[in-house]
């Protein structure tokens, strides 16, 4: 296993822990989308925010999906390791924590449980 693979696994684990500390579920599922690959991301199902990540996605795609969704939340009151906070700030437009009052999370209407 390459060093970068180990770093990716560690970063992915830190993002999963952060999601847990925000009471966000992270589900890894097989996602089928015709004619293209979709790594997954943040969605709202029955009023609950959660991450649905393609279990076949690369570690980089999983990290990107979690990071781009995570910055939509108010992270100012949550302890985040400085290196992880810096990593997440790269995903915001201006390098500042995003304005969570204007953040939009896509809704998914699913009647199935």
Q: Is 13 helix (H, G, I), strand (E, B) or coil?
A: helix
**pLDDT of the chain, 113 residues: tens digit per residue:** 444 778 899 999 999 999 999 999 999 999 877 767 888 999 999 999 999 999 999 999 999 999 999 999 999 889 999 999 999 988 876 544 444 444 444 454 444 44
Q: Where are the domains of the chain?
A: 3-101
pLDDT score of 49: 94
Task: Give Cα 36 to chain centroid, integer Å.
Answer: 20
pLDDT score of 104: 45
| Global confidence as pTM | 0.76
CA 42 – CA 26 distance, rounded (Å)? 9
Burial degree of 27 (CB within 10 A; 0-12, 13-18, 19+): exposed
CA 70 – CA 18 distance, rounded (Å)? 8
């Amino acid at each position: 296993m390459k060093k970068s693979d180990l770093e990716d696994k560690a970063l992915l684990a830190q993002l999963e822990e952060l999601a847990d500390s925000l009471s966000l579920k992270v589900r890894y599922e097989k996602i089928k989308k015709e004619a293209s690959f979709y790594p997954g991301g943040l969605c709202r199902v029955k009023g609950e925010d959660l991450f649905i990540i393609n279990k076949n996605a690369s570690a980089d795609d999983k990290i990107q999906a979690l990071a781009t969704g995570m910055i939509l939340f108010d992270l100012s009151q949550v302890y985040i390791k400085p290196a992880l906070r810096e990593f997440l700030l790269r995903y915001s437009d201006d390098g500042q924590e995003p304005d969570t009052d204007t953040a939009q999370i896509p809704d998914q209407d699913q009647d199935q449980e």
